[in-house]
Chain A
Amino acid sequence: MGGVRLLRFGAGLACLLVLAAALAQPVELDTRVFAIARQLRCPVCTSESVADSSVELAQQMRQIIKAQLEEGRSEREILAFFQARYGDWILLDPPKRGLHLLVWVLPVAGAAVGVGALVVLGRRWVRRSQEPVAVDPEDVARVRSELEGRSP
């Protein structure tokens, strides 16, 4: 009796899992489609990715991505497909090679130079503040006499 109940429970659980997997699959596929579409620039829009745009061409490009994913193509292959047709322009993240490398290297280099300059200047300021200041002996004598005059 207990065995039958366990069997029923197992069958029910299996059904649920299959159903959940079936429901989850399109969601997971759509997530992958949008993950790739977000890396592509919409050709007919201004400053929008293929994931963000609702124009016909962007919708069609998402269909193409979906179809290629279903065929088992990798993300890299799909990006290369669009790159072959539109050139590097289509990629929102410029490829890390050639002239495009500047876009990736310059901000980091700029930040490094800035931090370096701050460190050097900061040290110089601290050192300067610790140096004894040359004061005219006449001024020192005057301050002293003033202070003595005031003391009770």
Chain B
Amino acid sequence: MRSRGLLMTVLVVGALGGLFAFGLLRGEPDRDIPSALIGRPAPAFELPLYERYAPEYGPTLALSELAGRPLVVNFWASWCAPCYDEAPVLQAYWREYQDTDVVFVGVQTQDRGKRAEGRAFIEQFGLTFPNVVDDDSLVSVDWGLFGVPETFFVARDGTVLDKHIGPVTPEVMDRQLAALLR
């Protein structure tokens, strides 16, 4: 009877301790949650483009102009270190895929009034895909952004297929582009 009580105590304390350790060790689960937008239409936007893209796209870019084409929509900011890591990856994949119908769109966001820094970022990596400015971060909220960088993959029918949180890697781009162009 007494040893059964002891066993119960050990079991309960052990279970609580295990739960505590799990909570401590599981890192930042808050950021790994799937986007509420997956499977839903990508929120529309029309934003000013950086000057270097004006000859091809005009002064602003509306998502509706790209209807019917698969999209890679990448959100970045000039203060975000991982954005500098992924920019060369994005540019390399854009060069490889620009002859297909996929379009890459860069959106500078959560970076109010930082046009000069944004321009420097684009120059540094020679980004040739269109980049727009979301100066008041409204598009950030519309797309349910948690931070930067985040990259959305939008299917031809305009629905969000997937979202990648954090810097994209070649593995991520290969997998996502294969799904987009299928």
Contact = CB atoms under 8 A, between A and B. Distances in A.
Interface of A: 43-44, 46, 56-57, 60-61, 63-64, 82-87, 89
A120 to B, nearest CB: 16
Contacts of A56: 110-112, 137
Closest A-B pairs by Cβ, 10 of them: A87-B36, A85-B144, A60-B137, A43-B146, A86-B144, A44-B147, A56-B110, A57-B110, A89-B33, A57-B137
B120 to A, nearest CB: 19
Given A56-B111, A56-B112, A64-B141, 19 more contacts: A43-B144, A43-B145, A43-B146, A43-B147, A44-B146, A46-B30, A56-B110, A57-B141, A60-B138, A60-B140, A84-B36, A85-B36, A85-B43, A85-B141, A85-B143, A86-B144, A87-B36, A87-B144, A89-B30
A82 B142 CA distance: 8
A85 B37 contact: yes
Contacts of A82: 141
Contacts of A43: 144-147
Q: Is the interface of A mostly helix, strand, loop or mixed?
A: helix
Given A56-B110, A87-B36, A61 B146 contact: no
Interface of B: 28, 30, 33, 35-37, 43, 110-112, 136-138, 140-147
Contacts of B141: 57, 60-61, 64, 82, 85
A87 B33 contact: yes
Contacts of B30: 46, 89
Contacts of B33: 87, 89
A38 to B, nearest CB: 17
